[in-house]
Amino acid sequence: MQPAQTEERNLPAKITNRYIASELATLRDRSGKTGDYVGQRMGWSPSKVSRVEHGATLRGGDLVRLLQVLGATEPETQRILRIACSGTMPGAYQNAEGVLEWSTTVLPAAVQCQEYAWAIEIRQAELTRQPPEAAEAAVRATMRWQELATSQDFRIEALFDESCLARQFGPASVMNDQAAHMLALADRPNVTIQVVPASAAGLLVVSSFIYVRFEGDHGRLSPADTVVQRHLHNGGVLDISRDTYHYHYAFGQLRDAALSPADTVKAIERSRKQWAARGAA
């Protein structure tokens, strides 16, 4: 299966399922009903109730019946069914409050310009011998982050390894444009960009990931939170709560080791000047 197509098609469904699962768990807590009670009413085992509340896919009729058992109001029922039926990436991310992204080899997807994204995906397609359609799907997915970056209701925190500024994809002009794009995004109040310097010591060894955040109760992590990792062979989604907690903790450690946003802007400006000079040579 093509990596970009997997991410394009399956990621929205995974995130949507996690969000719906968290809503169902909240409704059950509010109703005071036990998992055993819900299982008896639905004809399910307690383990299936648990799986549903952790993101297992439900058929439409089962979801409607479960909402009735949990005492969901009509507006709540319509909203959850609308989310379940949309199954699109914009619809999935629309319900998220933000993302935390850490990138080790390329600049974060959430702050990529279109030309840079294309250069990466073309190289990816060459390495994996995938057709051009795979690159097109991945670029479309990346560009959706740009739509969210323009909304102050959506928070983006992007961390990246210092080496990403020097690793070239496409001609020097593309790298110059990418640096300029990040500088423009860094001015937005909802976007924070930080570089982790090569001199940082004692860091956790963590591969690139995107942590999609949903609103939690009293500032706590939401059970709908999802960690996204992209691999050469497919787009991966870690959807187990204990995994998302560890990745959230790792992101905090990386953030602590990063340069400040102001110093990061200076580093990007230096990089832009170097790429501009190289392009003019």
Q: Which of 88, 104, 132 is the last residue of a domain?
A: 88
| Of 195, 193, 15, the residue nearest 93 (C-alpha) | 15
**pLDDT reported for residue 279:** 84
Categorize the per-residue pLDDT at 83 as very low, low, confident or very high, splitting at 50, 70 and 90. Answer: confident
Domain end among 88, 106, 126: 88
CA distance 164 to 153: 28
* Residue 161's CATH number: 3.30.870
What pLDDT, on a 0 to 100 scale, did the predictor assign at position 5?
39
Band of residue 218 on the pLDDT scale cut at 50, 70, 90: low
Same domain (yes/no): 69, 119: no
CA–CA dist 82, 157 (Å, integer): 29
CA distance 216 to 223: 8
Q: How many angstroms from the chain centroid is the CA of residue 101?
A: 7
Domain end residue (candidates: 57, 88, 119): 88
Range of the domain at 43: 3-88
Q: What's at 117, amino acid-wise? A: A
Placement of tokens 């970009």 in the chain: 4
Domain shared by 133 and 266, yes or no:
yes
Is there a single domain that holds both residue 214 and residue 252?
yes
Instruction: Return the ∠ at Cα 260 (arms to 257 and 264), rounded to 5°.
Output: 105
Name the average pLDDT for the chain.
81
**Average pLDDT estimate for 91-118:** 85
What is the strand order of the sheet 191-196 is part of? Answer: 191-196, 155-161, 98-103, 209-213, 226-230, 235-238
Q: Which residues contact 49 (CB under 8 A, 6 or more apart)?
A: 35, 38, 39, 42
Please give the pLDDT value at position 46.
85
Q: Are residues 124 and 71 in the same domain?
A: no
CATH of the domain at 74: 1.10.260.40
Name the least confident of 47-61, 190-204, 264-278: 47-61
Distance CA 140, CA 71 (A): 39
State both tokens at 242. Answer: 């204990």
What is the pTM for the complete model shown?
Answer: 0.69
Residues 9 and 147 in one domain: no
3-state helix, strand, coil in the chain (%, to 5): 60, 10, 30
Q: Give the pLDDT score at 94.
A: 58
Residues 29 and 72 in one domain: yes
Helix (H, G, I), strand (E, B) or coil at 98: strand
On whether both 48 and 135 belong to a single domain, the answer is no
6's tokens: 């997997």
Among 40-49, 169-178, 194-203, the range of highest mean pLDDT: 169-178
C-alpha angle 22/24/28, rounded to 5°? 115
Q: Do 82 and 111 fall within a single domain?
A: no
pLDDT, one tens digit per residue, over 219-273 is 678 777 888 876 544 445 565 566 788 899 999 999 999 999 999 999 999 999 9
Q: Are residues 161 and 140 in the same domain?
A: yes
Q: Kindly report the CA angle at 10 between 155 and 149, in degrees rounded to 5?
A: 20
pLDDT band at 144 (very low <50, low <70, confident <90, very high): confident
Number of domains the chain contains: 2
Let me know whether 12 and 149 are in one domain: no
Q: What pLDDT score does 77 carry?
A: 85
% of residues, the chain, pLDDT over 90: 38
| CB-CB contact of 249 with 187 (8 Å) | no
Could you give the CA distance from residue 213 to residue 68 in angstroms, rounded to a whole number? 28
Strands 235-238 and 226-230: antiparallel
Share of the chain above pLDDT 70, in %: 81
Residue 38 has pLDDT above 50, yes or no: yes
80 and 107 part of one domain: no
Residue 9 — pLDDT band, cuts 50, 70, 90?
very low
Tell me if residue 65 falls in helix, strand or coil: helix
Which residues lie across from 191 on neighbouring strands?
156
Q: Which residues pair with 229 in a beta bridge?
A: 236
In the predicted structure, residue 189 carries a pLDDT above the cut 70: yes
Q: Do both 199 and 250 map to the same domain?
A: yes
Phi and psi, residue 195, nearest 5°:
-105, 140
Answer for the pair 244, 237: CB distance below 8 angstroms, yes or no.
no
